[in-house]
Homo-oligomer: A and B are copies of this chain.
Amino acid sequence: MTGSGEGLTTLKEFQDWVDLSRQAICREIFARNSERIGVKKEATAVRNLSRIIDATLRLANEKGFQAMTLRDLSGETGMSMGALYTYIGSKDELVRLIQSHGRLLTGRVMHDSLEAVTGAVPRLSAAIRAHVYLTEVLHPWFYFSFMESRHLGRREIEAAIQGELASEKIFADILAEGQQEGLFRRIDVTLAAASIKALMQDWYLKRWKYSRRGVGAEAFAAHLIAFVLAYVGFAAPADGRC
């Protein structure tokens, strides 16, 4: 962790800190699913896995996963249908693969981002920034996960719900900490944490809106931090109100 204490502030710092390149991600996916994948050479497998996931996110985010056919995927990746099936067991397994690895990454990044940060306000800021920057870098991944969560089985849907609640709890805990420190006023921390999640989610659900207005990830994160701190009753430093 480079900028400890206050957490990572800029998007660039965040990107330099975590390696969220497709290659790094697909290498880990390959390591975690090597038995089920018919191709044994890592370099080949990672390259093709990367193509498949990339094309899936592109096609599915444009017209939906169900509407994307494996023939579309074959065309977009430049691989034959037969070749696709050496990497994935079925079309449905592809959704599970992407979703479950997304949850893994989210949990890890959120945890690591807060590890060295102390104090409710810096932790709250760091958590919001980490989440916004993560969804900025992996935007297609998160958009896909949200929109296609219905195509999972009962068991996987439960995992998605638990992931949502776990990530919400991070915020609820920080808010409770701030109350105990006497920094935040009395609020319903669960309701407030849910609202913070809703605000952050807008960054990857309505990306088009912020793009066309020229609002970047850093400005958006700063806005959210100010929004939330106002609600919890913590006055922003260089602001003449109250």
Contacts and interface: CB of A to CB of B under 8 A. Distances in A.
Interface of A: 62-64, 66-67, 147, 150-151, 161, 164-165, 185, 188, 190-192, 194-195, 197-199, 201-202, 205-206, 208-210, 213, 215, 223-224, 226-227, 230-231, 233, 241-242
Question: How would you classify the secondary structure of chain A's contact residues: helix, strand, loop or mixed?
Answer: helix
Nearest to A240: B185
A242 B239 CA distance: 14
A151 B64 contact: yes
Contacts of A164: 206, 209
Contacts of A209: 164-165, 194
The 4 closest A-B pairs by CB, nearest first: A66-B66, A198-B202, A230-B231, A242-B242
A223 B241 contact: no
25 contacts: A62-B150, A63-B150, A63-B151, A64-B64, A64-B66, A64-B150, A64-B151, A66-B66, A147-B147, A161-B208, A164-B206, A164-B209, A185-B241, A190-B213, A191-B215, A195-B199, A197-B202, A198-B199, A198-B201, A198-B202, A198-B205, A226-B231, A227-B231, A230-B230, A231-B231
**Number of copies of this protein chain within its complex:** 2
Given A188-B223, A195-B224, A198-B199, 19 more contacts: A64-B150, A64-B151, A66-B67, A161-B208, A164-B206, A185-B241, A190-B213, A192-B227, A195-B227, A197-B202, A198-B198, A198-B201, A198-B205, A198-B206, A201-B202, A230-B230, A230-B231, A230-B233, A242-B242
